[in-house]
Amino acid sequence: MNDPILANRMSNIMSRYVDGNGKIDYEKASLFNEVQLSVIDLKNFDLAELKSRNDKIAFWINTYNLLAIYGVISQLKNKPGFGKKGLKGVLQKVSFFSKKKCTIAGDLYSLSSIENKILRRKLKEPRIHFALVCGASSCPILKDGLYSSDNLNSELNLASKLFINSSGGVELDKDNNVIHLSKIFKWYRKDFGGDKKSVLNFISRYHDEGTYIKENASALRIAYLKYDWEISGQEKY
């Protein structure tokens, strides 16, 4: 990202307000103003500055996470009970992901359009699902800094490994031949290859029990973990 002011602001948000566990302090009074300034700066960002595929992926991941934070803190300011209720209802999800839009480089974008039309359809990077964070408790953890073009591959690999080895990502029950997966692997199954073998093969690359999963893929039964839409943060609301 060649806009130093925007990059510094976004980096400052991720490093100052995200703790070591990937939780963000949504109640910090200064957070809203800093996020709002970054959102305003996005209006005039020149997308032509994004030269490489890595430039584009890093920018859109960082932008998605910024706008998700903006969406959560905006809701918390207007609806104090939003933290516990979260994004549980269909209407809430449609509003948060699709109806709310921000101007980037002169055009309107929603979280859904960034994820589905750009990162998934155009850039075709499945590991983005472990880097995009909408604020829900079952989401992957936030990175305490920006994703960078230069180190993108290693950063996405780390994000994948952290999520897949977390209790909300993948839980392996060898005794009963069951592998419990985050619903991310159900909703975006096509991105991970489409069929059971491909999904488990993808998971095996990052899971600590990867060899076992790959060798026993045909015998393992897939079950899906409950997805918690309550807002995740350093404090419970």
> 228 with 135: CB under 8 angstroms?
no
Cα angle vertex 87, ends 86, 93, to 5°? 155
My answer on whether 213 and 119 are in the same domain is no
Q: How many domains does the chain have?
A: 2
Q: Are strands 178-181 and 107-110 parallel, antiparallel or unpaired?
A: unpaired
Q: Which pLDDT does position 91 carry in this prediction?
A: 78
The mean pLDDT value of the chain amounts to: 90
Above 50 in pLDDT, residue 61? yes
My answer on whether 148 and 44 are in the same domain is yes
**Residue 29 domain-assigned?**
yes
N- to C-terminal Cα separation, the chain: 35
Residue pLDDT, tens place only, 170-186: 999 999 999 999 999 99
Residue pLDDT, tens place only, 96-126: 899 899 999 999 999 999 999 999 999 999 9
Q: Which domain holds residue 185?
A: 164-224
Alpha-helix residue ranges (DSSP H) falling in the chain: 4-17, 29-42, 53-78, 82-85, 90-94, 111-112, 152-164, 184-187, 196-204, 210-215
My answer on whether 168 and 178 are in the same domain is yes
The residue that leads in pLDDT, 1 or 123, is 123
Share of the chain above pLDDT 90, in %: 65
